Amino acid sequence: MEFQLNHRSAPPIFATESIRTQFDDIGAQIEAIVIKIIEVIENKTVKSAKSLKDHELIKSLEKLIFDRFKIKVRTTTHLIPAGIMAFYSNKNHIFIHEIIRGHFNVQDQNKLLKQMDQKKGTVNLEKATVDGIFSEYEHPLYLNFHVLIENLKLSSPEITAAILHELGHAFYACYYSDRTDRTNQVLAGIVRHLHADETGDIEYIYREISKITPNVKKEEIDKMLNGPRTVASVSFFKMVTEVVKSQTVNDKYNQSSFEQRADNFASRFGYGKSLVLALEKIHSDSYDKVLKRRIKVELSFSLFTAFWLAVLAISVLSVSIIGIIIGAFYSYIMLQLFREDNRDFTYDDLKIRYLRIRQDIVDQLKEIKEDKEVVKKMLEEIYTIDEAVKTTAVFRMLPSVVSNFIFSGARQVATSIKEQQLMEALASNELFVKSAELSLKA
């Protein structure tokens, strides 16, 4: 989004790599189908989660998704609550865990990749649509409505937010398919196109290694640099980059980028607040939300630590070499397990996830100024998220604090994450919220 001193005449300062705020009623259309699904589940018209798969409402949902986004999905209704298998046209995709990059193996995707040489696809950030090769893959979409409704007690807007989140994975997997480096996509979105904005269809082409040789012609190089974005095959990727590098000094926090992008997608359709409310219900019993649970686990761990230190002290006083070695070994292993650089950052801490959704809504406020009703709605979303943030903690056990102090690698990761979070907050600070509030009073 652009932030301008004068909305009509000033040059753009920032341009992000997010879809534009969407003003169509696709969210309401999805929600209307979800309401009917809730009805057939509650009145027992559909007796089992598995039998819902072939229901006409599911077929209507799949058709609606394709008609609007050009994303093809096949819904499974009896397994996990919500999820999607994104299409990784690049087997070294930045959103694939680095351990399996180049070896990612999904039969349906492999079949399509074998037919992709020189095929093209497009992604449109303004309309939030894909086309070409990106519309050919049938994404397995998992939506266990029975669990979402009966167990998690999600409302129709909250389920709609979850669906948009999963579609965000499918969309952004296509958009980032040409990347050969991993970085904080929130910050990259702010600075990558500092004086440019992406409009219309962004074209991608899948290229095999045969097109990149020591004798490559000048015209081929020109095509790569100035033509469609290149989605590299495995062999092409290895030849060009050898190894995936990060644009940030420490890329641990970048693991959360894919989930953040999916949250961003739901937010751009006006469902950021509903997504936070859904997460509130899903995590209602977590350490982040329940103070008693945090106190209980800290007390339990403190007692265990005290006992272990007592055993270690007795071993030292009795000059028990074996006891000292065992005690030191287990203490070392425990501290290693709690290091910040050993944490899985697929998801942010819940509070930080809420803040990033909030920041995305603030980013939208930077551009949307004339429509007071939209501004009012966004401010109401921000206020609701603020309430959720107030009741959510970032929970770190004592061993984490100790590990992040003792080990330089863990300390560097913790520092890098804090710096990135600070930069994100500064890019979407409260001045934009206050400006929006004042515009409503004008």
Encode pLDDT of 354-412 as tens digits: 999 999 999 888 877 668 889 999 999 999 999 999 999 998 887 888 888 888 888 88
CA distance 75 to 82: 10
Residue 203: the pLDDT is 76
Residue 245: the pLDDT is 45
- For residue 200, what are its two tokens? 């219309």
Q: How many CB atoms are closer than 10 A to CB 56?
A: 9
Task: Give bridge partners of residue 121 from the DSSP assignment.
Answer: 132, 204
List all residues 6 or more positions away from 58 whose beta carbon is below 8 Å from its beta carbon: 37, 52, 75, 77
φ, ψ at 281 (rounded to 5°): -70, -40
Residue 199: the pLDDT is 65
Residue 236: the pLDDT is 54
Q: How many CB atoms are closer than 10 A to CB 213?
A: 10
Task: Output the average pLDDT for the chain.
Answer: 80
List the chain residues with pLDDT less than 50: 1-16, 190-196, 209-214, 216-218, 221, 225, 239, 241-247
CA distance 217 to 228: 17
List all residues 6 or more positions away from 85 whose beta carbon is below 8 Å from its beta carbon: 106, 139, 140
Whether 179 and 94 have beta carbons less than 8 Å apart is answered as yes
Cα separation values, 310 from 57, 306, 320, Å = 63, 6, 13
Cα separation values, 253 from 223, 240, 348, 421, Å = 34, 25, 8, 10
Specify the DSSP element, H or E, that contains 189: helix 185-191
Task: Give bridge partners of residue 274 from the DSSP assignment.
Answer: none
pTM, full prediction = 0.81
Smallest CA-to-CA distance from 60 within 32, 85, 20, 100 is with 32
CA distance 441 to 435: 10
Residue 5: the pLDDT is 30
Residue 397: the pLDDT is 81
Whether 434 and 442 have beta carbons less than 8 Å apart is answered as no
